Structure 1
């Protein structure tokens, strides 16, 4: 059993299990089980001996499963006939809109959202995007048929799924799709009576602009988010963080420091606030690492390297994506301060992770390392590593 299977409570293919399937129709369950295993569509199709097109059609809800295909999927996942039984329900036409009580649906999909976020942070967008899209389809169908408070709860959950789907689209290198899903999150959040998503969406747009290299747009969106009537301390802290990084990339050290102070102030105000929020929990944003990242953008390489060295190991977030990004930033700071050998050791250890998670934001950081490393005198082994990094960054 691999680590993903173990964490998800599943078993190897061909072995029976009594583990309850995740909630949802056949396509959603299929996509969620595949994401838990860390299987690509191609890998799952190979194990089930069906075509990749069939898997995509099933997960997106375009087709209902035939008994033979359901049995093949059941065998691949080792679900002991549960998928075959679920397929029979799907063929009888049971849909999300037939659910009368929203509570179990919302609770079940909230658990799946947390699980998919954990998988996405560790394995990248390729393993969770199909699941996210399938579930948003079910939730929006259910929201259209619900009334009153139940309707609001379903639309709010659909908004959360849309926001994270937008983040995964950005991680996949598709900013236009990221913006589309972010705008859907705003619309669906409004259906649920929550205007704070509109404020947080401006933070997301600032982040998207940051990776386009449009620093003016970064600062503009961050300022709009901070001044939005629905912004709470968490959102204002996220906005200040984006503003600080925008000012740093423009070379404005004074404005960057002011934004960092706002971030610390709003973050302190938000700590312990357990009300519903958008985006990652603010306590996961280590102030020293954020300051180090800003110093890197300001080309204060030695200071940035010292800050990363002091904070990177004990304080970096636990997921693979964040570890990779901060590790590469540390390497870039080291390269900029003339310590290319130390920088290359870090990058060499991080490249396998970046290949696995296939994150556009991590590859962008790798591109910054390559730019800085190429300004330094490098030996043959270092040149080979820099070239390999460049090839991965530009993939």
Structure 2
């Protein structure tokens, strides 16, 4: 989970919550959040709490209030020392057991859960969030089929956001086919929610998936389609330019790469405000120099890449574990390319524990590139041991 979250419950090695501090939200939101932090599906939690799956879904979606017995069962399963029981009592406001509650706050609550899940995913990888993402998505799509008016659009749009991130987690888990399936669902559900921009952003996601499977031509085509999509905004066009720059770099086309980098900077300049983007990560995640450094790495301009990585530190690099591991390995690859293998191995040695934790297929791909470059250099016995350990981890 995100170490910056001061309200996060701690867990034991068995995955059981040990802190009595609850995250913010009503009973259903807290239930969904704690379940996500433990990596439990609805079925698994229902088994642990000896409560039916239907009751868990109704509680999380806000359709029902918890009875005292169910609240106590959830409290025991999470080990929250009575806090769940207290929360259930304080949030009921005199409502009868199993009264249907207002569904409006459910959307706000699940938006908070999605932010929580993204924080966990960025710091610990897909294994702790995927089951929760899928079960919450199922709850939302079931609710969307019966919702009317504004609630109908809002629920489907939120389901689309969950599907988009589930697709990203599938890619991080090394399953591109599943990533494409969830991305297509996000487009369908976004349309039901009245938002066509997800269709434009989905083309960016497809470009990234194609890039990681080695189909650079398809990646560039998807990026171009994203730019030309009628619903594309400056954020989506910037994301597309990022994909195009890296695609051209992989093909060895330095001129086209430079042009795409310029488009990336131009689109960033068009973005106003500091609100999180509707789809995908913040487009300025890190720094344009980090993107340029990554491109120089693919162009095998190791000297330029090493210099650019060296100048970017602190706030320029995103704080989440996934991004820091990714850019650390890329910097190490650049250093290996300029025969600074000792410095490169020092960086990788410090980063390997994080890579093992997050278990990201995209980070492992970067690690494989480091291994390939490092093996071209003259290495000491200790460095060879590290390179071999990196190779084993890179292959999953």
TM-score of the aligned structures, taking structure 1 as reference length: 0.85
Asked whether the equivalents of residues 327 and 346 of structure 1 are also in contact (C-alpha less than 8 Å), the reply is yes
What is the CA–CA distance in structure 2 between the aligned matches of 1:260 and 1:15, rounded to whole Å?
A: 47
Distance 1:115 1:143, change over 3 A: same
Counterpart of 1:202 in structure 2 is 203
5 Å matches for 1:4-19? 7-10=6-9, 17=20, 19=22
Q: Which runs of 5+ in 2 are unaligned?
A: 57-68
Asked whether the equivalents of residues 290 and 309 of structure 2 are also in contact (C-alpha less than 8 Å), the reply is yes
Larger displacement relative to structure 2 (140-149 or 201-210): 140-149
Asked whether the equivalents of residues 345 and 383 of structure 2 are also in contact (C-alpha less than 8 Å), the reply is yes
5 Å matches for 1:220-235? 220-235=221-236
What is the CA–CA distance in structure 1 between the aligned matches of 2:336 and 2:346, rounded to whole Å?
A: 11
Other structure's SS at 1:272 match: coil
Task: Report the alpha carbon displacement of residue 314 of structure 1 after superposing the two structures with TM.
Answer: 4.2
What is the CA–CA distance in structure 2 between the aligned matches of 1:14 and 1:179, rounded to whole Å?
A: 33
Report the count of equivalent residues: 374
What is the CA–CA distance in structure 2 between the aligned matches of 1:61 and 1:252, rounded to whole Å?
A: 57
CA deviation vs aligned residue, 1:116-139 (integer Å, no higher than 9, x gap): 111110111111111111111111
Counterpart of 1:131 in structure 2 is 132
Counterpart of 1:178 in structure 2 is 179
Asked whether the equivalents of residues 271 and 282 of structure 1 are also in contact (C-alpha less than 8 Å), the reply is no
Counterpart of 1:74 in structure 2 is 76
Task: Report the alpha carbon displacement of residue 210 of structure 1 after superposing the two structures with TM.
Answer: 1.2
Asked whether the equivalents of residues 74 and 81 of structure 1 are also in contact (C-alpha less than 8 Å), the reply is no
Other structure's SS at 2:331 match: helix
What is the CA–CA distance in structure 2 between the aligned matches of 1:194 and 1:61, rounded to whole Å?
A: 35
Asked whether the equivalents of residues 352 and 390 of structure 2 are also in contact (C-alpha less than 8 Å), the reply is yes
The question of 1:187 aligning with 2:184 is answered: no
- Runs of 4 or more, structure 1, over 3 Å off, are 2-6, 9-25, 28-31, 52-65, 67-73, 83-86, 92-95, 98-101, 273-276
Asked whether the equivalents of residues 163 and 185 of structure 2 are also in contact (C-alpha less than 8 Å), the reply is yes
What is the CA–CA distance in structure 2 between the aligned matches of 1:108 and 1:181, rounded to whole Å?
A: 22
Counterpart of 1:141 in structure 2 is 142
Distance 1:232 1:93, change over 3 A: farther
Other structure's SS at 2:318 match: coil
Once superposed, what is the RMSD of the aligned Cα atoms? 3.3
- Whichever structure has more helix as a proportion of its residues is 1
What is the CA–CA distance in structure 2 between the aligned matches of 1:14 and 1:245, rounded to whole Å?
A: 41
Distance 1:221 1:277, change over 3 A: same
Q: Which runs of 5+ in 1 are unaligned?
A: 45-51
CA deviation vs aligned residue, 1:323-365 (integer Å, no higher than 9, x gap): 0000000000000111111100000000000001111111111
Larger displacement relative to structure 2 (378-387 or 142-151): 142-151
Counterpart of 1:360 in structure 2 is 361
Counterpart of 1:391 in structure 2 is 392
The question of 1:150 aligning with 2:121 is answered: no
Asked whether the equivalents of residues 197 and 278 of structure 1 are also in contact (C-alpha less than 8 Å), the reply is yes
What is the CA–CA distance in structure 2 between the aligned matches of 1:16 and 1:336, rounded to whole Å?
A: 46
Counterpart of 2:62 in structure 1 is none
